[in-house]
């Protein structure tokens, strides 16, 4: 008799084989802490944006890393998955809580659905914060409602909102479209779009970069420039705003005697005197349109910063290994201590690095040299 094999089972076997091959390569990687730093950052991005190919596949590979490197190696990444599961439970509970206040909110004519992901600070990478961001009243109402629920259920916990990770569905009407469009944008893009909800500036000539910064409270100039580029200079079908270069033919002129300018292409960069207007001629056949923000490419400086953070963590790991060994042995000669530390560390460390950490531990009175035999160390309780 034959046993039927489904496509899902074949795909599962292929995934398992692929993960085993990746793990084989991983075993040859001496700087596993560097791999952890970059893998954790990318895993967080996949989980928060919902772009993971397979949730089960992510968990499966994480369990393999745990078996290979131990619990401490994957504890923060496992914490990320726990946060995602906890957030789903919290939102289920919050839905029942919020339904009682829905009628009160609907009297204003605008009801906003909101989903919140509650993250534990220590598990996730550090993301940019916008402390001065100006939210519209609809989002403020939702935020206050969730805070009231959360503070009531989890007393003693403090919420810090991470707006840079948020996304919104914004309904927008355009003169050349019969039905409203749904724009899938992030929070910063949403706030910029709301600047053009009723008018293109007080004089109708458009808004400049500084005007938009004041209206939105986004004080990161580089991020605001990327947002404006995504809304006005993106691919066809996403340019919901129109950019007017300050020196173009379409730019407002001070008087009619100004000399005419040659027609030129719209610049990709954002100048402080450029103006932005609502694109009244916008068209797109799709009902829901995703406008992806222009992400800042990872620079050499940023990669160096990640490596620097890993190097800083390595110092603490060397300290911990030395103290752990000395606490168990009480006294130990230099050569034996160096050998045991090298054995315990899961990353390549030079003898000079370990010697420097031993010296700092002596200065901090965790250990001392034995009088009469300077090559031996004694642990200080």
Q: Is the pLDDT of residue 345 over 80?
A: yes
Mean pLDDT over 169-188 rounds to 92
Q: Is the pLDDT of residue 34 over 90?
A: no
For residue 358, what pLDDT band results from cuts at 50, 70 and 90? very high
What percent of the chain is predicted at pLDDT more than 90? 42
User: Do residues 98 and 90 touch, judged by C-beta distance below 8 A?
Assistant: no
pLDDT of residue 102: 52
pLDDT of residue 251: 55
Q: Is the pLDDT of residue 62 over 90?
A: yes
pLDDT of residue 277: 92
Q: Is the pLDDT of residue 255 over 60?
A: no
Q: Return d(Cα 367, Cα 103) in angstroms, integer.
A: 67
Mean pLDDT over 343-360 rounds to 87
pLDDT of residue 193: 94
Mean pLDDT over 321-339 rounds to 92
pLDDT of residue 298: 56
pLDDT of residue 108: 47
Q: Is the pLDDT of residue 2 over 70?
A: no
pLDDT of residue 259: 47
Average pLDDT taken over every residue of the chain: 84
pLDDT of residue 248: 64
Mean pLDDT over 224-248 rounds to 88
Q: Return d(Cα 339, Cα 47) in angstroms, integer.
A: 40
Q: Is the pLDDT of residue 3 over 60?
A: no
Mean pLDDT over 163-185 rounds to 91
pLDDT of residue 228: 92
- Reported as a single tens digit per residue, the pLDDT across 65-121 is 999 988 988 999 999 999 999 999 999 888 888 876 554 444 444 555 888 999 998
For residue 254, what pLDDT band results from cuts at 50, 70 and 90? very low
- Higher pLDDT pick, 1 / 116: 116
Mean pLDDT over 314-326 rounds to 90
pLDDT of residue 252: 52
For residue 156, what pLDDT band results from cuts at 50, 70 and 90? confident
Q: Is the pLDDT of residue 258 over 70?
A: no
Q: Which two tokens stand for residue 337?
A: 């201590």
């Amino acid at each position: 008799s034959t046993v039927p094999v489904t496509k899902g089972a074949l795909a599962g076997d292929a995934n398992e084989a692929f993960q085993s091959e990746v793990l084989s390569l991983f075993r040859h990687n001496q700087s596993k802490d560097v791999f952890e730093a970059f893998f954790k950052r990318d895993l967080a991005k996949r989980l928060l944006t919902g772009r993971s190919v397979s949730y089960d596949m992510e968990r499966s590979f994480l369990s393999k890393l745990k078996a290979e490197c131990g619990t401490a190696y994957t504890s923060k990444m496992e914490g990320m998955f726990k946060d995602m599961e906890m957030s789903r439970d919290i939102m289920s509970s919050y839905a029942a809580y919020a339904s009682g206040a829905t009628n009160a909110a609907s009297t204003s004519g605008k009801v906003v659905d909101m989903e919140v992901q509650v993250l534990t600070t220590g598990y996730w990478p550090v993301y940019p914060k916008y402390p001065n961001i100006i939210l519209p009243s609809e989002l403020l109402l939702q935020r206050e409602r969730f805070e009231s629920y959360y503070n009531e259920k989890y007393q003693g916990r403090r919420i810090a909102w991470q707006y840079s990770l948020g996304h919104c569905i914004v309904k927008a009407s355009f003169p050349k479209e019969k039905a409203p469009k749904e724009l899938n944008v992030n929070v910063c893009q949403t706030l910029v779009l709301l600047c053009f909800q009723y008018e293109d500036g007080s004089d109708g000539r458009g808004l400049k970069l500084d005007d938009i910064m004041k209206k939105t409270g986004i004080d990161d100039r580089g991020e605001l420039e990327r947002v404006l580029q995504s809304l006005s200079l993106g691919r066809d079908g996403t340019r919901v705003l129109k950019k007017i270069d300050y020196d173009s033919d379409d730019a407002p002129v001070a008087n009619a005697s100004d000399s005419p300018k040659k027609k030129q292409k719209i610049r990709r960069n954002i100048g402080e005197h450029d103006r932005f207007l609502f694109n009244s001629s916008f068209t797109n056949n799709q009902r829901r349109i995703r406008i992806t923000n222009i992400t800042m490419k990872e620079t050499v400086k940023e990669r160096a910063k990640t490596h620097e953070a890993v190097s800083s963590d390595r110092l603490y790991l060397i300290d911990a290994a030395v103290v752990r060994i000395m606490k168990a042995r009480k006294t130990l000669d230099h050569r034996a201590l160096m050998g045991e530390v090298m054995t315990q560390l899961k990353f390549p460390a030079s003898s000079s690095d370990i010697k420097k950490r031993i010296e700092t531990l002596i200065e901090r009175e965790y250990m001392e040299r034995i009088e009469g035999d300077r090559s031996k160390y004694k642990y200080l309780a």
